[in-house]
Amino acid sequence: MAAAVPTFLGARRQARPVVLNGNFGWLHAEPETAGGDVAILLCPPLSWDALHSHHSLRRLADAFAALGYPTLRFNYPGTGDSQDPTGPDQFYPGQDETGPYASQIEAGGNGDYWSLWQDSLNQAAVWLRETTGARRLVLAGVRIGATLAALVAATRNDVAGLALLAPVLRGKSYIRQLCMEAQLETGISVKPEDGLDLYELRLSPETVQRIGTVDLQTLRFAGAPRVGLHVAIFEQSSSRLVDGCIDAWTRQGVSVCSHSFDPLAPMLQQTIHGDTQLADLSGLLDWVCEIAPAAPPANRPAPVIDKQMLVAADQIETPVCFGDDARLFGILCRPLYQTSDIAVVIGNTGRDPHYGVARFAVEFARHLASQGIASFRIDFAGLGDSIGPAGQEDVLSPLFETDRSADISAAIDVLQAAGFRRVAVHGLCSGAYHAFHAALADPRVEALLLVNFPVFFWQPGDTVEQLVRKQAPPAHYAAKLLQRDFWARLGEREIAFRSILMTQFRRLGEQAKLRCLVVLERLGLIQPVNPARRAMATLQRRGVRTIFLFGPVDPGIAAVEEVFGRGATELDAFGAQMCIIPGVDHHISGRQARLATITRMIDFINDRETVVTDGRPAADIIHHHRAAVAA
């Protein structure tokens, strides 16, 4: 009989943030039972896979908890909100010299993540058993998290089940994927023997080499024959590698079955567009209920420590549930040596969890702390680890349509209660949009740090696709006309030519009208008529300092230039500025780009000038890059 997927039982009733050995996580358990004889350890994937699967794993943990399985989901060292096993010469000066992994880093010389991640899984397994009283574990991993789960499960004798969701079966292929991704992102050829620097991952050549040698077909289970160990492979497509694993593991006495990953496929899909189809978790839940039925704990669980903190050399980070019914979640990052009474609220980007693409929010928060500035990185309602409104707890809330002002105001309440008198708000892309509107709604906001700001106002019925189309300059479509397959696709009605044409005409018409109004405004004949100019005037009257930061080819530049002229030079009149940072892409995926952006924002907070634009006006840099891209 199929297990009904339980819905969320109530705000924060069954999930609590935990910190284990410097790693951040969530323990999901029914408050009445607290423990269970079988506990579930969720092993997340990395990078994009981790961002995309975050919501599904939260739902999965809730569902397991409701079925009587205490469930832990957590971030490996150097991922999500966990501490960074990096030395003093790395990104954060002085960070983690005394952290929990200091000895391993020293011993490894370069921070061998592959070993650290497996160690952290083993430590989490021990912690989970001690905390919940469980005697047996089921490990469930996604993509490379499944690989880690398999490697760890093979060494333990307390694992009853192993669920591998779209697993990486050969490390070599995964490394090839990451190298190819890095090459496509940077345009520079990436060789595994040089190590890998992609998004938040910074893997040494040795780590890359170790991952590359993993082949789960050769996995040896300790104590084989392992009768009683059940493995389910939820495969994306049948392959000889899956068959090889099933053969090899069955020979070791393991009970292995395979299922289609298709019902779970939304787990790994990007969630930016429209309504999101939820992953169907029932097959996985059924399988676990069958091979390891939930039971009350045989051992007395150890109490969970209430106050959980991540402590590093520069900062103390505290998970905080806040807002109405404590439905919102964030991590308050306080510097050990506070030098400013301003604190920065950092909201979600897109529908990604609060730590952000390439962990930008975490890097920003910890860099702020190293400069003596506090921050509060939060999830908006219905995103990441914050719960949506009643009846929509499991629904990912929309990108732009939902007003986030109340969430940001609730975060400001937390900061003011913690003693911070001044508040800045930062956002990237849609996060910048929400930061802007929160500043209009809440007079406590003193500064805005808007990165790759996409649009001033979102109209009902607008779509992300329309936004991208509108912001593409006419030259973009002129260049398309020269492509061979454009005309073929046009003929096959693959391209909505009429719609594109109308959008571009509308845009040109709006620009012409706005130019006329700006002239009248400058002559003092009218007050600002354009809503964006009116909004900026409101912020200026309130003394809000605003900086718009963009990568050179970001489509959001068009939104600002459309209202404030070429190079957005008219922003000066509103006490705001636009700054173009070379090398920054829309996600700020490159390490140097992230550092440059963070540096610029900290200097803005401290009212310092940074030269990051080669000393040239923004308009010149934009023009230069557009010309380069066109060429």
* Contact footprint for another protein (CB under 8 A): 48, 169-170, 172-174, 176-181, 183-185, 189-191, 236-237, 239-241, 261, 265-266, 268-270, 483-485, 488-489, 492, 494
CB of 218 to another protein, least distance (A): 15
Q: What are phi and psi of 541, to 5 degrees?
A: -60, -35
- In the complex with another protein, the residue whose CB is nearer, 167 or 427, is 167
Q: What is the DSSP string of 75-126?
A: PPTTSTTSPP---TTSSSTTTTTTSTTHHHHHHHSS--HHHHHHHHHHHHHH
- In the complex with another protein, the residue whose CB is nearer, 180 or 529, is 180
- In the complex with another protein, the residue whose CB is nearer, 494 or 572, is 494
**R_g of the chain, CA atoms, integer Å:** 25
CB of 186 to another protein, least distance (A): 10
Tell me how far apart the alpha carbons of residues 39 and 169 are, in angstroms, rounded to a whole number: 25
Please give the span between the terminal C-alpha atoms of the chain, in angstroms, as a whole number: 61
Q: Judge contact between 493 and 487, C-beta under 8 A.
A: no
Q: Judge contact between 547 and 451, C-beta under 8 A.
A: no
Spatial CA neighbour of 559 closest among 582, 583, 584, 530:
530
Spatial CA neighbour of 539 closest among 437, 426, 420, 410:
437
CB of 515 to another protein, least distance (A): 34
Q: Count of CB atoms within 10 A of residue 122's CB?
A: 13
CB of 346 to another protein, least distance (A): 24
Tell me how far apart the alpha carbons of residues 459 and 449 are, in angstroms, rounded to a whole number: 23
- In the complex with another protein, the residue whose CB is nearer, 123 or 173, is 173
Tell me how far apart the alpha carbons of residues 202 and 80 are, in angstroms, rounded to a whole number: 14
Which amino acid makes up residue 480?
K
Tell me how far apart the alpha carbons of residues 303 and 145 are, in angstroms, rounded to a whole number: 28
Tell me how far apart the alpha carbons of residues 274 and 398 are, in angstroms, rounded to a whole number: 7
- SS3 (DSSP) at 390: coil
Which amino acid makes up residue 483?
Q
CB of 349 to another protein, least distance (A): 17
CB of 51 to another protein, least distance (A): 11
Question: b/e map of 421-442 (b: 16 or more CB within 10 Å)?
Answer: ebbbbbbbbbbbbbbbbbbbeb
- Which distant-in-sequence residues (6+ apart) come within 8 Å of 171 by Cβ? 147, 210, 211, 212, 213, 214, 215
- In the complex with another protein, the residue whose CB is nearer, 276 or 546, is 276
- In the complex with another protein, the residue whose CB is nearer, 467 or 537, is 467
Q: What are phi and psi of 619, to 5 degrees?
A: -60, -40
* H or E element, residue 595: helix 591-605
- In the complex with another protein, the residue whose CB is nearer, 269 or 416, is 269
- SS3 (DSSP) at 344: strand
Q: What are phi and psi of 613, to 5 degrees?
A: -115, 25
CB of 588 to another protein, least distance (A): 15
CB of 395 to another protein, least distance (A): 17
The edge-to-edge listing of strands for the beta sheet with 255-260 is 15-20, 23-28, 71-74, 38-43, 136-142, 159-165, 230-235, 255-260
CB of 114 to another protein, least distance (A): 18
- In the complex with another protein, the residue whose CB is nearer, 48 or 477, is 48
CB of 189 to another protein, least distance (A): 5
Q: Count of CB atoms within 10 A of residue 261's CB?
A: 21
Spatial CA neighbour of 14 closest among 65, 87, 82, 69:
65
CB of 489 to another protein, least distance (A): 6
- In the complex with another protein, the residue whose CB is nearer, 190 or 559, is 190
| Tokens 């080669």 sit on residue | 614
Spatial CA neighbour of 230 closest among 279, 272, 303, 288:
288
CB of 166 to another protein, least distance (A): 8
CB of 399 to another protein, least distance (A): 16
- Give residue 396's region: left, alpha or beta (phi > 0; psi -120 to 50): beta
CB of 170 to another protein, least distance (A): 6
- In the complex with another protein, the residue whose CB is nearer, 46 or 229, is 46
- Which distant-in-sequence residues (6+ apart) come within 8 Å of 500 by Cβ? 469, 477
- In the complex with another protein, the residue whose CB is nearer, 239 or 592, is 239
CB of 147 to another protein, least distance (A): 13
- SS3 (DSSP) at 409: helix
- In the complex with another protein, the residue whose CB is nearer, 155 or 260, is 260
- In the complex with another protein, the residue whose CB is nearer, 190 or 387, is 190
Q: Judge contact between 269 and 61, C-beta under 8 A.
A: no
- In the complex with another protein, the residue whose CB is nearer, 134 or 182, is 182
- In the complex with another protein, the residue whose CB is nearer, 395 or 495, is 495
